[in-house]
Amino acid sequence: MYYAVTIATLVTMGLALIRAVLGPSVYDRVLAVNMIGTKTVLLLSVIAFLYGRPDFLDLALAYALINFIGVLAVLEFFRNRALRRSTERDEGK
């Protein structure tokens, strides 16, 4: 049964990867990458019990923290860029 969840998670990560490659805007890519990160945490937790190695749960916890901080940093960067562009456009008028 762990195998079913593992395969479902892997397929979802593949679909999210396709969306990250296709994604028309940069926010679609950020969304897909965030999704892949969350699915990685789930996958690590399931694999910890699939192989009977509970140490993997620590890795999942650390990955959840890193993923959150990374997504927020990337979003802050693009948010600043959008703000700068809109102020430049207003000054142009």
Partner 1 sequence: MTTLVDILSWVLLTLGGLSVLIGGIGALRMPDLYTRMHAASVTDSMGTILVLLGIMLQAGWSLATIKLIAILLFLLLTGPTSSNALASAALLAGTRPFEEADQDDNEGQE
83 binds partner 1 (CB under 8 A): yes
Query: In 10 A of CB 46, how many CB atoms?
Result: 20
Binding-site size, partner 1 (CB under 8 A): 49
Among 4, 35, 1, CA closest to 19: 35
DSSP for 42-83 reads: HHHHHHHHHTT-TTHHHHHHHHHHHHHHHHHHHHHHHHHHHH
Considering beta carbons, is residue 14 or 51 the nearer one to partner 1? Answer: 14
64 binds partner 1 (CB under 8 A): yes
Q: Which residues bind partner 1 (CB under 8 A)?
A: 1-2, 4-5, 7-9, 11-16, 18-19, 25, 27-28, 30-32, 34-35, 38-39, 41-42, 45-46, 48-49, 54, 57-58, 60-61, 64-65, 67-68, 71-72, 75-76, 78-79, 82-83, 86
